Structure 1
Amino acid sequence: MATSTSEEQTTVPRWRIIGPGLVVAATGVGAADLVATLIAGQKFGYTLLWCVVVGCLMKIVLVEGAGRYCLSTGRTIFEGWRSLGAWTTWYFAPYIVIWGFVYGAAAMAGTGLALAGLTGVLSTTWWGILSGLLGLALVWSGRYSVFEKVLAALVGIMFVTMVGAALLTLPNLGELLTGLVPRIPEDGLVNTLALAGGVGGTITLAAYGYWLREKGWSTPAYMRVMRIDNTVAYVVTGIFVLATLVVGAELLYSTSVAIETGDAGLLDLGAVLQDRYGQWAGKLFLLGFWAAAMSSLVGVWNGVSLMFADFMTNVTGGDEADARAGGKWYKAYILWLTFPPMVMMFLGKPVWLILAYGVLGAFFMPFLAITLLWLLNTDRTPAEWRNKIHSNVLMAIIALAFVALCVNEVRKAVSGA
């Protein structure tokens, strides 16, 4: 059976086997990541271009590890974490609940901001609520084929608009190439780590195994296909983030234009594009901004709900059907992402909740990197698919980088800086 599957894959055009990787990459690049990249371009020009490359490589390594564990064992990533001890459950339980509540409000606000700027009618709050309801409608049934097509369409819009904006600015190719030489600008260490760490997702990286399962890729026979899928997806993401950095360097750094932090910075950039190239350029960019925000929203509404369903089924001893898309826990988390956060859209965000969100979230990437090292170097993974020396070296470096970022993020969250 495995042989026929492998033979079949060798005859399938490669573009047709791209799916879950594009989903995880598109979900991971939201409005906040775009602003962070634009600000890096605004502050340092092309100096941190190499970080985009490093960031993509980091995510390729981590996502490949998560996919390799799931395909080789037939277990989900949460089942793997649970095998490491009860401490993983005690960390993950409050994290996924608090993260979902705060992220739900942030995702709706991001999409709402883009649509309010694009249309000029209704407020950010109401556009955000409508976006949340649309996300719920798109993923409620749990049909992966529909979900994947929606994400692919949003990725297409993101890619065309941002790469188009970068080409419109006529980038300086000489300076761009110098940015591939690794160097850290003065007082730029945090920006360097943040840019490398922010290329393409946090908790959604761990959702990759669930999307592989929904796609029907569930055995080691799909290992080669998974690696192609993952690599191509993050190359596309890298080009997209590179285009964002080019726009920041050419439109903001070279002209000393500053933009706000947070999602509002994208509205500022839309205004800059409109002033320089005409109203059409500003509107086109805002369309790409909306696609980036909406892809993250829809991806989380599906992928993290799958993670929650698996978590609840494991801790309650429920039926396997409860852990799948369309099950009761899957739908419960979609409702949690959609409706309670609407209150925050009207009333603002409680300081204690944002503090908890920041601290717990800062620990997730070190948590993922370290637990993958643990899972992929022990008998929890079949010997054939355990880490080789180069994988261990890369994962160890990545873990150290994310620990450094974690320390900085916790410091900022606690100090309020």
Structure 2
Amino acid sequence: MATTGGTPPTPTEHEDRIDDDGGAPAKWKLVGPGLVVAATGVGAADMVATLVAGSRFGYGLLWAVVLGVVLKIILVEGVGRFTLATGRTIFEGWRSLGRWTTWYFGPYIMIWGFVYGATAMSSAALPLAAVFPVLPLWAWAIAMGLLGFVMVWFGKYATFEKITAVLVGLMFITVVGLAVIALPNIPAMFTGLLPRIPDGGVLYTLALAGGVGGTITLAAYGYWLREKGWYTPKWMRVMRIDNSMAYVMTGIFVVAMLIVGAEVVRSAGVSISAGDEGLLDLYGVLKDEYGDVVGTGFLVGFWAASFSSILGVWNGVSLMFADFWGNMRGKESGHPDTRVGGKYFRFYVLWLTFPPMILFALGQPIGLILAYGVLGSLFMPFLAVTLLGLLNGKRIPARWANKPSTNIALGITALLFLVLGGQQLVKALAPLLGG
């Protein structure tokens, strides 16, 4: 089996412990890239959406959270399976589907990175500005961007993975601990597993089903597998365990936020703001209800969720850009210029960090935000539809091609994201349509 272009990664110390059929991992410490992709995808926006859904509908949309976890497991498993089965990166796969994929992905990754860079830095700065108001928000945002830049610029994948695991631990302990303190209504939670859409809950249902854990970072999973040293089909079972375990943890985390919304925010009778500021509203509620220790502890989890997204995007999406640009320059995937520390990788780390700081002074340029919204609304449908093309037919060995049941599940996933993406597209175009 050929590996991803260029020099294949050096086999890790664990490879001889996995049989050719993808036997069970020797140690749980093999679990890694899935946790990274899941942690990166759960940011402040997902936390607020879940919190608001819980405060408005109680446990009525718990089933949508579970559905969202299942959909992301399907998508990320597809990305990982294509990478391991073919030895090709996801961008190489997209190119095989036609030039249209490159014409979409190129502008998208540049505009997305510019806007997301500012958003991610601001999100990580919010809890720090609340606890340490000695600096304004924009100063904390710049500090977060610079910290992430240094850690990714000089760090190796193994270090990055360990730091992410610590941040996930902080997220998990603080948010799940808060849910336990809130004393969830267990019978109501079981009732919430029955699929139903409450009045006025269509958009929240779609958002929860589609927004649990990431967008473009889902496609970065294959690159993290390569950096980990998992690069042939013998790692297939390990990858599936890694992916499933990570998204089960994500599901527990998001359910915990739903519990907090249903038990704490709803009973307090307060309204949570849209956007990241909603988490600061929750901080005030928790402080009044449980005291400073619990309130500040939640801000630690808020910061960990936001900063893990900075690290994940700065590393993973930079790898995606490096592969894209390397291919455009005629260099095969896996060339040193396209790997961690390569010049294309470092260009995008710079792009994510420094140009977005201009937005702190300019505010939100309408045209740029509009393009970001339009292209962003199309990414998840793009990923789901292209995976259907890549995981069937001649582009993947027959042994690892989709089974009919997988095609049905992936088709449902693609349809859901097309609907959700269409709604986001209408929202993005509303300024032009006079909405």
The TM-score, its normalising length taken from structure 1, stands at 0.97
Residue 65 of structure 1 and its aligned partner are, at CA, apart by 0.4
For residues 218 and 125 of structure 1, the distance between their equivalents in structure 2, rounded to whole angstroms, comes to 41
**Partner-residue secondary structure (3-state), 2:116:** helix
Contact 2:175 2:301 in 1 (8 A): yes
For residues 308 and 401 of structure 2, the distance between their equivalents in structure 1, rounded to whole angstroms, comes to 33
After superposition, residues 104-253 of structure 1 pair within 5 angstroms as 104-141=117-154, 143-253=156-266
- Deviates most, 358-367 or 114-123: 114-123
What are the Cα deviations for residues 104-127 of structure 1, in whole angstroms up to 9, with x where unaligned? 000000011111112232111111
Contact 1:112 1:123 in 2 (8 A): no
For residues 110 and 130 of structure 1, the distance between their equivalents in structure 2, rounded to whole angstroms, comes to 12
For residues 230 and 12 of structure 1, the distance between their equivalents in structure 2, rounded to whole angstroms, comes to 13
Contact 2:120 2:309 in 1 (8 A): yes
- Deviates most, 110-119 or 350-359: 110-119
Equivalence for 2:349? 334
Letter in 1 for 2:287: Q
Residue 307 of structure 1 and its aligned partner are, at CA, apart by 0.1
- Say if 2:383 is the partner of 1:368: yes
Equivalence for 2:91? 78
What are the Cα deviations for residues 145-200 of structure 1, in whole angstroms up to 9, with x where unaligned? 00001100000000000001111111111111111111001121111001110000
For residues 87 and 26 of structure 2, the distance between their equivalents in structure 1, rounded to whole angstroms, comes to 26
Structure 1 pair 3/246, CA: closer, same or farther in 2 (3 Å)? Answer: closer
Structure 1 pair 263/75, CA: closer, same or farther in 2 (3 Å)? Answer: same
Aligned residues with identical type, % of pairs:
61
Structure 1 pair 63/415, CA: closer, same or farther in 2 (3 Å)? Answer: same
Contact 2:83 2:90 in 1 (8 A): yes
- Deviates most, 324-333 or 180-189: 180-189
- Among residues 60, 66, 77, which one is paired with 2:79 in the alignment? 66
Aligned Cα root-mean-square deviation (Å): 1.5
Contact 2:17 2:26 in 1 (8 A): no
- Say if 2:370 is the partner of 1:355: yes
- Deviates most, 341-350 or 56-65: 341-350
The gaps in structure 1 that reach 5 residues or longer are none
**Partner-residue secondary structure (3-state), 1:254:** helix
Residue 390 of structure 1 and its aligned partner are, at CA, apart by 1.0
- Deviates most, 239-248 or 249-258: 249-258
Equivalence for 1:414? 429
For residues 137 and 298 of structure 1, the distance between their equivalents in structure 2, rounded to whole angstroms, comes to 10
What are the Cα deviations for residues 340-376 of structure 1, in whole angstroms up to 9, with x where unaligned? 0001012201011111101100000000000000010
Equivalence for 2:278? 265
Letter in 2 for 1:22: L
For residues 406 and 387 of structure 1, the distance between their equivalents in structure 2, rounded to whole angstroms, comes to 24
**Partner-residue secondary structure (3-state), 2:131:** helix
For residues 407 and 317 of structure 2, the distance between their equivalents in structure 1, rounded to whole angstroms, comes to 27
Contact 1:118 1:287 in 2 (8 A): no
Contact 1:29 1:199 in 2 (8 A): yes
Structure 1 pair 3/303, CA: closer, same or farther in 2 (3 Å)? Answer: closer
Residue 247 of structure 1 and its aligned partner are, at CA, apart by 0.3
Equivalence for 1:27? 40
Equivalence for 1:89? 102
What are the Cα deviations for residues 206-264 of structure 1, in whole angstroms up to 9, with x where unaligned? 00000000000000000000000000000000000000000001112233211100010
Contact 1:42 1:252 in 2 (8 A): yes
Letter in 1 for 2:361: F
Contact 1:142 1:302 in 2 (8 A): no
What are the Cα deviations for residues 76-106 of structure 1, in whole angstroms up to 9, with x where unaligned? 0000000111000000000000000000000
Structure 1 pair 49/73, CA: closer, same or farther in 2 (3 Å)? Answer: same
**Partner-residue secondary structure (3-state), 1:402:** helix
Equivalence for 1:346? 361
Structure 1 pair 163/82, CA: closer, same or farther in 2 (3 Å)? Answer: same
What are the Cα deviations for residues 19-73 of structure 1, in whole angstroms up to 9, with x where unaligned? 0000000000001110111011111111000111100000000000000000000
- Among residues 376, 386, 392, which one is paired with 1:377 in the alignment? 392
- Deviates most, 406-415 or 8-17: 8-17
**Partner-residue secondary structure (3-state), 1:399:** helix
Equivalence for 1:387? 402
Contact 1:5 1:221 in 2 (8 A): no
After superposition, residues 283-302 of structure 1 pair within 5 angstroms as 283-302=296-315
Equivalence for 1:402? 417
Equivalence for 2:7? none
For residues 205 and 90 of structure 2, the distance between their equivalents in structure 1, rounded to whole angstroms, comes to 29
The gaps in structure 2 that reach 5 residues or longer are 1-10
- Say if 2:27 is the partner of 1:39: no
- Deviates most, 360-369 or 8-17: 8-17
Residue 142 of structure 1 and its aligned partner are, at CA, apart by 5.0
**Partner-residue secondary structure (3-state), 2:268:** coil
For residues 81 and 390 of structure 1, the distance between their equivalents in structure 2, rounded to whole angstroms, comes to 23
Letter in 2 for 1:136: F
For residues 40 and 413 of structure 1, the distance between their equivalents in structure 2, rounded to whole angstroms, comes to 22
For residues 118 and 154 of structure 1, the distance between their equivalents in structure 2, rounded to whole angstroms, comes to 18
Equivalence for 2:6? none
Residue 5 of structure 1 and its aligned partner are, at CA, apart by 4.9
Equivalence for 1:18? 31
- Say if 2:24 is the partner of 1:6: no
Residue 277 of structure 1 and its aligned partner are, at CA, apart by 0.5
